[in-house]
Structure 1
Amino acid sequence: MHPKHPPISGKLPVFMHGADYNPDQWQHDPAVLEEDIRLMKLAGCNVMAVGIFAWAALEPEEGRFEFGWLDRVLDRFAEEGLYAWLATPSGARPAWMSERYPEVLRVGANRVRNLHGHRHNHCYTSPAYREKTAILNAKLAERYAHHPAVVGWHLSNEYGGDCHCPLCQEAFREWLQRRYGTLDALNAAWWTSFWAHTYTSWSQIESPAPHGETMVHAHNLDWRRYVTDRTADFCSHEIASVRPFNPELPVTTNMMDWYDGLDYRRFAGLLDVISWDAYPTWHDAADDSRTAAWFAFNHDLFRSLKDKPFMLMESTPSLTNWQPVSKLKKPGMHRLSSLQAVAHGADTVQYFQWRKSRGSSEKLHGAVVDHVGHEHTRVFRDVAELGGTLAALRDVVGTTTPARAAILTDWDNRWAVRDAQGPRNCGVHYEDTVMDHYRALWSLGIPVDVIGSEEQRDLGRYALIVAPMLYLCREETGVRLERYVSDGGVLVSTYWSGIVDERDLCYLGGFPGPLRRTLGIWAEEIDALYDGEINGLVPAGAKGGRSEQGRAAAEACGNGSGGTAHGDVARGGQLRLSREYDARELCELVHLEGAEALAVYRSDFYAGRPALTVNRLGAGSAYYLATRAEPTFYGDFYGQLSRKLRIPRALDAELPAGVTAQVRTDGATDYVFVLNFSGSGQTVPLDGRAYADAESGEPLDAAELTLPANGSRVLRRAAEG
């Protein structure tokens, strides 16, 4: 049921442990390479990402290539049993290129061309940039694609940003012509009759600009989609320049946490393995659970892109140099945060960076090897100890995450939510809303996939799908979710859903548009609350929750109780709230159209009207939360719902606040990661099953675990059928 995935590289069928390595910065001192190799082996590191920003070292002048230094590095790696992800250096180009080919420099939304500098300051459309990238990439591939030390290609570095130059303007118009075919179709999709913005020529269309057009929301949305497609096309261009030389080498590119600028799902089909860079702001509160949940969500997101293990390509072994406050990791946090990635599906733990740069902007960024240059540091010891742990856990490599719950999020929905004007222009907090739901499941130790509405995956594998604030909801998404519920699934949706289609056009005939039949409600209005203003959810039928006035209001808005069958939790019985909860920010006024009210509003003119509903459809159920509830609501709601749905938890026990458990499995053996982000020592109950320590193999005789602050344990047990 849970087949084990093959290792990322057959050359290295264990956990990859290593860092970004920049030997091009140390060519003046050959002794550095030899000392680095000694330290890599001492730290239990086996792989480095090499050459990421090395273009100027590889091609110091146009057409003159210098590979001697890279030959030495890779040859020494091969001799010492070390490996490399070989990078294409397109993340930053040399000065000679900017001077000779100014078209490679980006143009901002203000239509001003940038000067040379920074990184990712280049145009993905530029023929000159594409040509020079292909030439260098091909030379690297021709020379190293069969090198014994090379395990794969690290494409560029953190693709991102957009360009508004004339070349990109024309490419955008061509993209729109392919998408819409005719100007009439584009004008209809963009609703350009608004403010007399109708286009009569393709040449009139430009990208959004601060001194031009920004108010046509579908225009903004399509520009963001175009930027993703243009960047993915450049990624494909890079792949095409290296792949033919050895099709067996996997390719990846390092992504960033839920990066707003690119829809990463468009890259999943291009890449052999997903990798990403995680830089939490640990220790910014009394406990680290909120930060941990955010990064757990991202680990799940990147694992879900290809539904298999991913790579943690960058993390800091120490501190960063760019966060508002660059904190040191407290004792235990390096192991804890690294094992968190592994718990959610990472088959690598890698760092930025191996050795600290001596100058420029990242000279004070954390590294395995500090400026002092030796192994006698706290950070190096942390890394070496983790190297030993990863070696002991090699059987975890390739195992799967048995998620029976999923969060549905789309990048274009996120963009559309942000662009929408009203009801709260001070913020509807889409990301926070997603995290309210995710964090509740994470706190319960329930594995979660993060999925998209356009993915072609079987939704029937999930007992529960949560779709928070699905503002942009395609008709076909509504059809799929209706079928999912009718076939026995349970859906949870929220306020501000089913408002617009993929063109950002409002649905006519009543919200939530294509979700209306599934949810059994009609959302007539939405009230925005000021910061500090509070309403509340009261259990339906509770004293004070169903006053005569409230009962009359609920019945006036449609159907009162909603019938006798509704409220069953996919044949699991009625879910009932046992207390009141505060509500903030948005309160939607809904009519019941077959659904039943589980909770009603506490106050204001809509007191007594439905605030939480459930609709029975076919063999399944669909819940609708019409307001943003206080955080404790989500824990209580999903705790009760998951029990009724019998969704497995990593540990079938009540976990202390700030402690989570995650599981990976090969179908025969489960590996349970118990992780303490609470900021203090905790006692964690076990669930009566037979456990052993996954690192030592020693059986556990106790009925509970004692974890110090930032403590972590990996347990092993027999998997259940």
Structure 2
Amino acid sequence: MQQLRLLHGGDYNPEQWLDRPDILAQDIELMKKAHVNTVTLGVFSWSTLEPQEGVFELDWLADIIHNLYANGIYTILATPSAARPAWMAHKYPEVRRVRADRVRELYNRRQNYCYTSPVYREKVRIIDQKLAQRFGNDPAVLLWHISNEMSGDCHCELCQAAFRRWLKARYNSLEALNKAWKARFWSHDYTAWEQIESPAPQGENAVQGLALDWKRFVSDRHIDFLKFERDTVKEFAPVAKFTVNMMYRFDGIDYFKMSKEIDVASWDNYPTWHKPSETVEETALDTALMHDLYYSMKGRPFLLMESSPSFTNWQPISKQKRPGIAELAALQTVAHGSDSVLYFQWRASRGAEEKLHGAVIGHDGREDARPFRETVGVGQKLEVLSEIATVCRTKQAAIVHDWENKWALEGSCGPRNAGMGYWDELKLHYNALAREGIAVEFVNQESDLTGYGLVVVPMVYLLTDAFAQKLCDFAQNGGTVVVTYWTGVVDESDLCRLGDTPYGLTDLLGLRRTEIDGMYDGETCRCTPMDDSTLPETQASVLCEVASLNDTDPATPLSVYAEDYYVNCPAVAVHSYGEGRAYYLASRFDEAFYRAFYRAAVKEVGLTPAWPEALPDGVLAARRGTFVFVQNCNEHPVEVGGVALNRYGTAVWKNGEQVL
């Protein structure tokens, strides 16, 4: 993908307006006024591209693409597989998914095709070939967008058979499968492959190994479908580049694994701004975490594929972005590594599901409406920052986020079946580092840790032998590791580790876990710092681990429990290991603890914050290359570095010189 500037634009659905050439002409003029240089076409166009089986109408799409290009606007072209035409669903029932309760769906909505169906794959292959033959080498097409927001699973007989083939390839024998799943528990040994079925509400749900492997299989099915579409296009467009739009905290696909099959990562971002339970800064931090996650997919700039210029229509409450938030959000996206600010949608639809969803152009078609005016302002600022395109961020700290670990953690019965709060845990560590102006990336257990100064290991319940060794080697060579409670409990099959735990890390941490105590919601245990510690007094919650220090080379407690039967046991400990060190956090603490802990850790490790001085509360800083962004998330003005920042204002410096 040739990219010379930041992309600005979004989802455009001209197929909804083919009977209104005046509106199509107006769109071009308004796009130019809004500094739009890129649109996404074809996401939901299949019924217009192939209105009847085997009847293809692509001329309208060619006219749109070339008219846009003549006006300086590139196209990201989507394959339309996310939403099939009605004629297909009725003629070929197998393309419709079967739910977990084994009921086949009627024709409805989108993203609900059977990814295994040979019929569906053949129909997708045909339409993708038609598009690739026509547009695969067209200079107007910047990038190919495979399907849309892949999600869900199918339990039809085709998928059951594919699952069994997947299991045979993984285990080779039923003996190995039964051993990995510990199927003998409750006498669930399998004696024939045909006895194995996917998890169901009225079926098997007590074998965690089965549930974990089903999630792996579903993820692999989506990735296989992505590869199938990508390779179909590449037959006619060998130099084409590809993306697929990912989603907020989506659980159903291992995005690290999927990202190996695409050229650029992208995601759809729809924060719930202005919630009564959350400040603007907290929403911004939650969003920044996701930006950094998707930057980490490829370790280089990503694309923001969708965002609302104003509001959504599918969240419980759809709040309008207050004046200034659209710009704050757009510039934050760029600060955290995006090379685009793209919206859903350019022009509001007149009917159906998303007719009341926010758009750059509303039903009134007016250019003096606030969403359009703010989009113009964002476009102008992106042009000022065009040099930042393709610039990477500097590696500083990493947080482990591993999809297979999350699947296993949340699928197992344990000390807190009321919920472990996985994302809450990640946010506590991320927010503290981000507030220090530290660039955070995310890694999984296959990632290379080279280049990071600090690696955080939060609730890595499923810990592989290889990654445990990788963490030890990282510390041995001078890195700092932070390991939390509920880490190193099970192996890749969700079988409990035998011997001392956290598995593989007891020498690194200088201690071993002896007991685990689940906490009720609202229940806490007071923790007090040791006399020579700079940590604050704090409250432990969610889960309290009891640890025993190693007899030889023990860890040094920094804070201890002050209550209950584990009084004086370490709540926080540090242990020197080789040239580095490892911290152990035995519970979840309050926010103030993490602020203090990571402020000290950042200095100890020698990480350089994005901004050299302490920032006012509610102000965030991020560095991207030689650019530094400082953003005011407060509802009142602040001053930073002699620059006045208005409410929700942003200032940008390049090499120390203010450019915005």
- Alignment correspondent of 1:567: none
Residue 229 (structure 2) aligned to one of 223, 238, 246: 238
SS at match of 1:241: helix
- Alignment correspondent of 2:487: 497
1:496 positional shift: 0.5
Question: Given the alignment of the two structures, is residue 472 of structure 1 paired with residue 462 of structure 2, yes or no?
Answer: yes
Q: Is the 8 A contact 1:299 1:344 kept in 2?
A: yes
1:712 positional shift: 1.1
1:321-336 to 2 correspondences below 5 Å = 321-336=313-328
Runs (5+) with no aligned partner, structure 1: 1-8, 543-575, 687-703
Question: Given the alignment of the two structures, is residue 629 of structure 1 paired with residue 589 of structure 2, yes or no?
Answer: yes
Residue type at the aligned position of 1:486: Q
Q: Which shifted more, 22-31 or 170-179?
A: 22-31
Residue 659 (structure 1) aligned to one of 598, 610, 619: 619
**What CA RMSD, in Å, does the superposition of the two structures yield over aligned residues?**
1.2
- Alignment correspondent of 2:610: 650
- Alignment correspondent of 1:710: 648
SS at match of 2:347: coil
Aligned residues: 653
Q: Is the 8 A contact 1:460 1:489 kept in 2?
A: no
- Alignment correspondent of 2:563: 603
1:284-433 to 2 correspondences below 5 Å = 284-285=275-276, 287-433=279-425
Residue 255 (structure 1) aligned to one of 221, 246, 258: 246
- Alignment correspondent of 1:193: 184
Question: Given the alignment of the two structures, is residue 513 of structure 1 paired with residue 529 of structure 2, yes or no?
Answer: no
Deviation per CA, 1:66-108, whole angstroms, max 9, x where unpaired?
1121121012112212110011000100001011110000000
Question: Given the alignment of the two structures, is residue 70 of structure 1 paired with residue 49 of structure 2, yes or no?
Answer: no
1:650 positional shift: 0.5
1:706 positional shift: 2.2
Residue 154 (structure 1) aligned to one of 145, 148, 169: 145
Q: Is the 8 A contact 2:536 2:596 kept in 1?
A: no
- Alignment correspondent of 2:135: 144
1:541 positional shift: 3.9
- Alignment correspondent of 1:176: 167
Q: Is the 8 A contact 1:403 1:446 kept in 2?
A: no
Q: Is the 8 A contact 1:443 1:657 kept in 2?
A: no
Deviation per CA, 1:372-418, whole angstroms, max 9, x where unpaired?
01211111010001101001111111111112111111011111111
> CA–CA distance in 2 between the matches of 1:276 and 1:344?
13
SS at match of 2:9: strand
- Alignment correspondent of 1:485: 475
> CA–CA distance in 2 between the matches of 1:532 and 1:578?
23
**Percent identity between the two aligned chains:** 47
Residue type at the aligned position of 1:679: E
Question: Given the alignment of the two structures, is residue 679 of structure 1 paired with residue 617 of structure 2, yes or no?
Answer: no
> CA–CA distance in 1 between the matches of 2:526 and 2:600?
20
Runs (5+) with no aligned partner, structure 2: none
> CA–CA distance in 2 between the matches of 1:202 and 1:293?
47
Deviation per CA, 1:261-295, whole angstroms, max 9, x where unpaired?
11101111110101100000011136212211111
Residue 527 (structure 2) aligned to one of 527, 537, 540: 537
Residue type at the aligned position of 1:433: E
1:718 positional shift: 5.5
TM-score (norm 1): 0.89
1:530 positional shift: 1.5
1:134 positional shift: 0.5
> CA–CA distance in 2 between the matches of 1:375 and 1:541?
64
> CA–CA distance in 2 between the matches of 1:213 and 1:70?
48
Residue type at the aligned position of 1:262: I
- Alignment correspondent of 1:115: 106
Question: Given the alignment of the two structures, is residue 264 of structure 1 paired with residue 255 of structure 2, yes or no?
Answer: yes
- Alignment correspondent of 1:204: 195
> CA–CA distance in 2 between the matches of 1:578 and 1:487?
26
Q: Is the 8 A contact 2:535 2:593 kept in 1?
A: no
SS at match of 2:61: helix
TM-score (norm 2): 0.97
SS at match of 1:627: coil
1:677 positional shift: 1.9
- Alignment correspondent of 1:39: 30
Q: Note closer, same or farther for the CA distance 1:164–1:622 as it changes in structure 2 (3 Å cut).
A: same
Q: Is the 8 A contact 1:138 1:241 kept in 2?
A: yes
Question: Given the alignment of the two structures, is residue 224 of structure 1 paired with residue 207 of structure 2, yes or no?
Answer: no
1:578 positional shift: 4.3
Q: Is the 8 A contact 1:287 1:679 kept in 2?
A: no
SS at match of 1:653: coil
Residue 18 (structure 1) aligned to one of 5, 9, 25: 9
Residue type at the aligned position of 1:708: N
Residue type at the aligned position of 1:179: R
1:705 positional shift: 2.8
SS at match of 2:361: coil
1:320 positional shift: 0.3
1:715 positional shift: 1.2
> CA–CA distance in 1 between the matches of 2:442 and 2:638?
29
> CA–CA distance in 2 between the matches of 1:466 and 1:707?
33
Q: Is the 8 A contact 1:582 1:629 kept in 2?
A: yes
1:246 positional shift: 2.0
Q: Which shifted more, 163-172 or 241-250?
A: 241-250
> CA–CA distance in 1 between the matches of 2:371 and 2:403?
37
